[in-house]
Amino acid sequence: MIKKLWIKYKEIVMYLIFGVLTTVVSWLSYALFTKIIPNFSIGKFAVSTVVLSNVLSWICAVLFAFVTNKLWVFDSKKWTPKLVLKELWLFVAARLLTGVVEWVGVPLLVLMGLDQTIFNIEGMWAKIIVSVIVVILNYVFSKLIVFRNKKEPDAANKSK
């Protein structure tokens, strides 16, 4: 019974586990960057610690997520350069789309008043809300677009 449930729901369970871990990578790197990166200006443009920290945490999370999703969530075990480049391109493109949601969503929610500090981290409430939305969107894109051809049928199944 448990084995059947595991087989049926393994992908979703693994995605949730690695989704949580990816979120932890994002949050921890965000927290680190907000502590070590000061507000600064480039010419006339002010660069916000929150904005820069959010972008850098997104990059860390995407790199972690690609490897874990490829190997353990969607069982894409082939490492041929052509396939990896295709998967990486699609993965990054999908994550850029959801990255825009995160990059715009967190500062927007902060501007709308969700700027409460949690764990002594500015804007963390907004980060949590946007992270939940992003995890759901990322699963849909990974499942339907990036790793959709994860398992090739064997020769016996092709002839049927």
Residue 159: pLDDT over 50: no
Kindly report the pTM of this predicted structure.
0.70
Query: Given pLDDT bands bounded at 50, 70 and 90, which one contains residue 97?
Result: very high
Question: Looking at residue 121, what is its pLDDT?
Answer: 85
The structural domains of the chain, with segments of one domain joined by +, span 2-149
Secondary structure of residue 151 in the 3-state scheme: coil
Q: What is the pLDDT of residues 121-140, one digit of tens each?
A: 888 889 889 988 988 898 89
Mean pLDDT, residues 144-157: 63
Confidence band of 156 (pLDDT split at 50, 70, 90): very low
CA distance 53 to 27: 10
